[in-house]
Amino acid sequence: MTTTTTEPPGETPPDTEPPPAGLDPIHDEGEMPAPAQEPDAASLAGFRSLPHNLEAEKALLGALLVNNRAFEQVAEFLRPEYFAVEQHARVFAAAEKLIEHGQIADPVTLKRFFESDNTLSDIGGPAYLADLAASAVTVINAREYGRIVYDLHLKRELITLGEDVVNGAYGGEVDETATDQIERAEQALYDLATSGNYEGGFKDFKSSVVAAIQMAEAAHKRDGGLAGVATDFLDLDALLGGLHSSDLIILAGRPSMGKTALATNIAFNAAHDYSRSAGAEGAVVGFFSLEMSAEQLASRILSEQSELSSDRIRKGQLENEEFVRLVNASNTLHDIPLYIDDTPALTVSALRTRARRLKRKHNLGLIVIDYLQLVAGSQGSRNDGRVQEVSEITRGLKTLAKELDVPVLALSQLSRAVEQREPPRPQLADLRESGSIEQDADVVMFIYREEYYMERKKPSRRADEEDGKLMERIDRWESALEDVRQVAEVIVAKQRHGPIGNVSMHFNGMYTRFGNLAKEHPYRQRFHD
């Protein structure tokens, strides 16, 4: 008679096969753990590992351990954290430390190094160091293997960056716009691209000399002998040689001196020359107007070109024929390559991102920033104080000039200390908030208008003064005022590539226009003979 055993619902009979090799037998009523399931092809199909190349990393480290000269091939761009394997990163960091201290890095010295802090077992022991040395390539190939390691590191960082962008777009802060996220992503991409670029380094002197000769040849062939972007102000161009690529130029002054007017005139002249010469001269201009709106800036340019008062344009007090003149002037400006960004409180990072975009799309040739103190620093620099913030901004602008190979003209305020002197002519020490402005700038210029201060010194009647004496003083004041009327002086207080000096210019406040001062003008005769 056969007996049938019925299992309780939900239970399965115990596995009666022998235990797998390597496992202890289970005693008493203990149960065997279920054997691990091998992943099938379908489950592996969707799995992707981060980009890495263990053979390249081992070959590079082996070359370094066999011949420390291999380190010279990769030291300028490769960092320990670029390795995909933690043990490899630690071996590279240890070898780097030994080599930089003038010691030999090989399996023997690295063994002692890791034994000193009890981490030898963490990197696989002496056997693994010997295995790395056995994987060596020649020193000649070390740089190529280093590039492979670096390139794969960038790809892993790109994946991480992409995940951050996606997560940020899904769960961004309420007050953070999509544009803010795009700019942050672009900045992160730029930082990643420049984190360890192996394309830099020394250039042989011959290449540098050839580049200098080419610049001199271009200046020789141009009218006026300019090597940089012309401002179209003859005396200023003669002193500066134009605005040079990769230079940070600071234009500073007290309020009402005409900083924005001069910067606008320079920007318009450069853009107009570019349009008129089909790109042979002048430059495409990017104007970051952090103080004025784009419409206000355009009104200034229209006022200058149509010779109509900007105040009357703004108030709508034009006669019919004047309005026609204004419209005709505007039609001639439509094709001028002058681009205005009036976003307030831009950070250096956002400014750099937008400038790079304009360079890529329209071949940007000149950047104007109005004005430096309105540029926002990073969160970290703001926490460190205003001086540190301004220092970060000026360094960022100088880096931008070199990166894009264009001149950057940045306006700056001056401290009130300048007005405590007599005469109140500005000096380098008056640059507001940070000495780094003077340090980082290639050119520092000040605007000084004696007329502005002279107008505020009109004689008033003294106690018991006769009318005749008062009139004498008023006549002398009016005569002195006439000598400086509609005159501005640009003081070049620092120029890294040339001499310093003063440039006399004509200034028409009604049209916010600067111009060349006549040779026979009394101001020029008085100060510059």
- Domain spans of the chain? 54-166+180-193, 225-447
pLDDT of residue 263: 92
Give how far Cα 305 sits from Cα of 113, 314, 367, Å: 73, 15, 22
pLDDT of residue 46: 57
Q: Is pLDDT larger for residue 379 or for residue 300?
A: 300
* Cβ atoms 61, 88 nearer than 8 A: yes
Ranking 41-50, 143-152, 242-251, 259-268 by mean pLDDT, the lowest is 41-50
The tens digit of pLDDT for each residue in 441-492 reads 899 999 988 888 877 777 777 777 677 777 877 877 777 777 778 888 899 9
The tens digit of pLDDT for each residue in 188-241 reads 777 777 665 555 555 666 666 776 676 666 666 665 556 788 888 888 988 888
**3-class secondary-structure state, position 117:** coil
The confidence band for 25, taking pLDDT boundaries of 50, 70 and 90, is very low
pTM of the model: 0.65
CA-nearest of 421, 418, 489 to 451 is: 489
pLDDT of residue 434: 62
The two domains 54-166+180-193 and 225-447 share their CATH topology (first three levels equal): no
The tens digit of pLDDT for each residue in 101-114 reads 888 888 888 888 88
pLDDT of residue 22: 40
Give how far Cα 27 sits from Cα of 24, 36, 301, 488, Å: 9, 21, 95, 102
pLDDT of residue 37: 54
* Cβ atoms 62, 106 nearer than 8 A: no
The type of residue at 411 is L
Distant-in-sequence contacts of 84-89, Cβ < 8 A, 24+ apart: 84/50, 84/52, 84/53, 84/54, 84/57, 84/149, 84/152, 84/153, 84/156, 85/52, 85/54, 85/57, 87/122, 87/123, 87/124, 87/128, 88/57, 88/58, 88/61
* Cβ atoms 393, 240 nearer than 8 A: no
Interatomic CA distance for residues 355 and 377, integer angstroms: 17
pLDDT of residue 364: 92
pLDDT of residue 515: 85
Q: Residue 500 pLDDT > 70, yes or no? A: yes
pLDDT of residue 28: 44
- Superfamily for the 225-447 domain: P-loop containing nucleotide triphosphate hydrolases (3.40.50.300)
Domain at 54-166+180-193: CATH architecture: Orthogonal Bundle (1.10)
pLDDT of residue 232: 87
**3-class secondary-structure state, position 68:** coil
Give how far Cα 427 sits from Cα of 123, 395, 423, Å: 60, 21, 12
Name the average pLDDT for the chain: 78
pLDDT of residue 367: 94
